[in-house]
Amino acid sequence: MVLDIIVSRTLNGMDKNNKKFKKYTKEYAEIKGTDVSDVDLTFSGDMLDSLELVSHKSGEIVIGYKEPSEELAGKVEGNRRGTYGQSKPIPGKARDFLGISQSELDTIIDSYKEDEPAINDLSADELDALARQIAEEMFS
């Protein structure tokens, strides 16, 4: 469910604090074939497609990239920190998409509380469908 929320929110142009991403440069928007304000971090799709559950234990999960290529690691760092190939972040250019806000966490917890008796009876496909539905409701 956390992955679905991160991906859905990112595709809707929002960072982990539910703030709009910084606009693309005019040059980058032209290369991507989009408007400067249509920021969804999907030029190749690699960053969001490769995002996965790295580890978990009671009360904690780690979302990220198990074995990122050097290219993917650069894309992720460039967006999260705003470095884009520079040694230091460029002020105001970060698009920190990894993580979830407290309100998103509260929504996840509340949805499981509401469905707790029945959730244990759901198949993996049904759980996945429920997670997608909640993510869609949060960002539609």
For 56, the 3-state DSSP assignment is: strand
The H or E element containing residue 61 is strand 60-64
| Alpha-carbon torsion angle 80, 58, 67, 89, nearest 10 | 20
Q: Which domain holds residue 84?
A: 2-138
Convert the pLDDT of each residue in 54-76 to its tens digit.
888 877 888 889 888 889 999 99
Considering its fold, how many domains does the chain have in total? 1
Rounded percentage of the chain residues whose pLDDT exceeds 70: 87
Q: What predicted TM-score, i.e. pTM, was given to this entire model?
A: 0.75
Convert the pLDDT of each residue in 106-127 to its tens digit.
888 887 766 555 666 666 677 7
